[in-house]
Amino acid sequence: MDSMLSQEEINALLSGAGDAGAADSGSAAAEDDPLSAEEKDAIGEISNISMGTAATTLSTLLNQRVNITTPSVAISNWDDISNTYERPCVFIQISYIEGLDGNNILILREKDVKIITDLMMGGDGHNTEGELTELHLSAICEAMNQMMGSSATSISSVLEKKVDISPPTASLIDMNDTISSDNLGKFLQGSFVKVSFRLEIGDLIDSELMQLYPFDFARDLYKKFLDSTDIGGTAEPDAGAAPPPPAPEPAPAPAAAPQGAYGAPPQGAPYAAPPQGAYPPPGAYAMPQQPYPQMQPVNVAPAQFASFDTSVNPIMMQENIDLIKDVPLEVTVELGRTNKTIREILDFSPGTIIELNKLAGEPIDVLVNGKYIAKGEVVVIDDSFGIRITEIVK
């Protein structure tokens, strides 16, 4: 039959199908590539801007020079990180609550966390002995909260929208063990984006800081970055579109009327409106001046005051003092004073002896409304203490 194919034609078709299958598998492999080069470059640029601000914040917090180098973006998985990173380490999870949808993880060495927390507590950064405690994790969370808060502000300026984070959470992870946390376990399944930085803090820390992104979060960050860069750009005109109509030419400005052309009409004459489109200059419609009423002359002379007599009348002075003699005043006799720290005051108990700044037999101070006015000595009047004035302080 003429419609039947020969063996050579069948072999040719099969070989063509094989080539097409190979081409399809190659395109599928290309589609499986998680991130393109443009996406990696954009993520690296955003991370570089945000971590630059974070380094400044951390430097202010620690009072140390902090340097975070240009990031390196790569695709990684849990096995690669566990085989290359120091054990154990601290995972700090940052969640975005506004502007971005997702979270990422910062990884720090255990020793670096101890140095940072020691600097935050006023140390010199060398107190790194002992195990990592909840105090260390709480302190590093506060440091990362301020760092990533400033980083979110930088991302806000890049994306031109508000970006905010929730307080970070820290966990001590042994890289040899399986991740037990549900959130971290879901995050680290399969592959993810790894952004690596070199972290330098004074002469104390020179290590690697890693930031891990899920693919969905990285793609969303790249998309919002593209959207922000398109704002304000000029769109290319369509080749088939009709050209825009020419802008209308501005109408010529009306000629200004000469000065005084439209002055006030004489009294009793009808008012003639100016022609349409003519605008007289400012002041052309001057109101007729009215004569001011004449003011009556007045006499102006300098003020004269009686001179004050500097002499004081003793009688008047006595009468003034009599007016305030019944005003009550508080008289305080001060035996002595001393200064104590809070620790010493907390150790007070019945029987504690407090040494004052007065020597035995030294005169005591007499104060009236807190004002030091006299010295005296303690006496006993019947069953009460009294004070005998020995000196009036001028």
How confident is the model over 24-35, as pLDDT tens digits? 444 433 345 577
pLDDT in tens, 181-239: 445 555 667 788 889 999 999 899 998 888 888 888 888 888 888 887 764 444 444 44
Q: Are residues 225 and 334 in the same domain?
A: no
pLDDT in tens, 330-350: 999 998 889 999 999 999 999
Q: Are residues 64 and 211 in the same domain?
A: yes
If you ran DSSP here, which 8-state letter would residue 202 be given? T
Domain assignment present for residue 169? The answer is: yes
Q: Are residues 225 and 346 in the same domain?
A: no
Residue 200: per-residue pLDDT: 92
381 strand-pairing partners: 384
Q: Are residues 191 and 43 in the same domain?
A: yes
Domain assignment present for residue 98? The answer is: yes
Tell me the DSSP string of 137-185: HHHHHHHHHHHHHHHHHHHHHHHTS--EEPPPEEEEE-TTSPP--HHHH
Domain assignment present for residue 288? The answer is: no
Q: Are residues 193 and 328 in the same domain?
A: no
Domain assignment present for residue 261? The answer is: no
Q: Determine the 3-state secondary structure of 391 from DSSP.
A: strand
pLDDT in tens, 35-73: 788 888 888 888 888 888 888 888 888 888 999 888 888
CATH number of the domain to which 125 belongs: 3.40.1550.10
**How would residue 175 be classed by pLDDT, with cut points 50, 70 and 90?**
low
Residue 358: give the domain boundaries: 323-392
Residue 130: per-residue pLDDT: 84
> Can you say whether the dihedral through the CA atoms of 305, 309, 313, 318 is positive or negative?
positive
Among 204, 229, 254, residue at a domain's last position: 229
Whether the Cβ atoms of residue 334 and residue 364 lie closer than 8 Å to each other: yes
Count up the domains in the chain and report the number. Answer: 2
Among 229, 262, 290, residue at a domain's last position: 229
Q: In which element (H, E) is residue 72 found?
A: strand 72-77
Domain assignment present for residue 259? The answer is: no
Kindly give, in sequence order, each residue whose CB lies less than 8 Å from that of residue 162, ignoring residues fewer than 6 positions away.
Answer: 98, 99, 156
CATH number of the domain to which 368 belongs: 2.30.330.10
Domain assignment present for residue 265? The answer is: no
Domain assignment present for residue 142? The answer is: yes
| pTM across the whole model | 0.49
Q: Are residues 86 and 192 in the same domain?
A: yes
Among 210, 229, 248, residue at a domain's last position: 229
Whether the Cβ atoms of residue 166 and residue 101 lie closer than 8 Å to each other: no
Q: Are residues 222 and 331 in the same domain?
A: no
Kindly give, in sequence order, each residue whose CB lies less than 8 Å from that of residue 126, ignoring residues fewer than 6 positions away.
Answer: 115, 118, 204
Domain assignment present for residue 240? The answer is: no
pLDDT over threshold 90, residue 374: yes
Q: Are residues 185 and 78 in the same domain?
A: yes
Selected residue with higher pLDDT from 167 and 287 = 167
